[in-house]
Chain A
Amino acid sequence: MAMIRFTERPPFRNPWAEFERIRQGLDELSRNLSREGSSPRGGSVFPPLNIYEDKHSLLIRAELPGVQVEDLDISIEGDTLTLQGQRSHAPAGENISYHRREIQDGTFSRAIALPARIDTDNISARLVDGILTVRLEKADVARSRQITITTE
């Protein structure tokens, strides 16, 4: 049996102090996150996407304000859809001084792994009011089928 000499014993510690310290740390973390949440928009990925799925098709929407149709390129290879493009809205004037500059310029590229096999001959894309909508029809093998159940 291991013996601890009385003088070597660690000083008394409150066993709950450590939990309290962790709790305070978590509180601080969540406070920081919620503060970040109220800042003006400006995410880390561009463009932000919404993807919808129904029985027969996939619908991909992207927010692309200020992007011209000719500056946008969409390609599909296997199960990967790639969105590439560039945006430049900077004025071509002289003697300009900026008060605020929150809108970012430059090139972007995003690859999206499609959740289903799609019919590559049947894709449509539209860009209206800065929103890109890509509609992809699912391939026959990927469509959901109703299975009838029989009883005897």
Chain B
Amino acid sequence: MQQNSSTPGTREESTRENGYFVPTVDIYENQKEVVVIAEMPGVGSSGVEVTLEDDVLTIRGTRKEENREARLILQEYETGDYLRRFSVAETIDRERIQATMKNGLLTVILPKAAPARPRRIEVKPG
């Protein structure tokens, strides 16, 4: 997970100099819900922010810097914030969205709204 891609999928810019990491995700769907799982190692449940605004689901994770007192002799990953956005279909029941953070994996459950029932409109003779 190395690459620091700057502001993925968005035109807004961070005030901090470093860009954002794009977390790898799994997205799957069953009959009841859509589930998004994102890898965000180093982010605790207090550092994660999930928002749904105008059909755009935004996942943002804030990660603490690692201590730099000791000398770094091998670096294979960098620390920074995570950001990724997805557009969400309108058939999601927004009131019941749940998000949990465990072992560096974020799970967002987006329940599908009950399908709109066809309604028959009676036509009365005038």
Q: Which residue numbers of A lie inside 8 Å of B, CB to CB?
A: 37-43, 45, 48-54, 57, 59, 61, 63-68, 89, 91, 93-103, 115, 127, 129-131
Contacts and interface: CB of A to CB of B under 8 A. Distances in A.
Given A38-B5, A65-B39, A130 B27 contact: no
B26 interface: yes
Given A41-B3, A53-B70, A129-B41, A68 B103 contact: yes
B40 A65 contact: yes
Contacts of B37: 89, 103
9 contacts: A39-B3, A40-B24, A50-B75, A51-B73, A63-B42, A96-B29, A99-B27, A115-B73, A131-B104
Interface string B62-93: 00001101111111110000000000000000
The 6 closest A-B CB pairs, nearest first, are: A130-B104, A41-B1, A65-B104, A130-B41, A52-B70, A48-B76
Contacts of A130: 39-43, 103-105
Contact of B104 (A39, A43, A66, A102): A66
Contacts of B71: 52-54
Contacts of A131: 41-42, 104
Mostly helix, strand, loop or mixed at chain A's interface? loop
Interface of B: 1-3, 5, 21-31, 34-35, 37, 39-44, 66-67, 69-77, 101, 103-105
Contacts, number: 130
A14 B74 CA distance: 46
Given A66-B39, A115-B73, 10 more contacts: A38-B5, A39-B5, A65-B39, A89-B37, A93-B30, A95-B30, A130-B40, A130-B42, A130-B43, A130-B104
Contact of B25 (A57, A97, A102): A102
Contacts of A38: 3, 5
B29 to A, nearest CB: 5
A151 B43 CA distance: 54
Contact of B29 (A57, A99, A129): A99
Nearest to A57: B70
A49 B76 contact: yes
A99 B35 CA distance: 10
B28 A42 contact: no
Contacts of B24: 40-42, 102-103
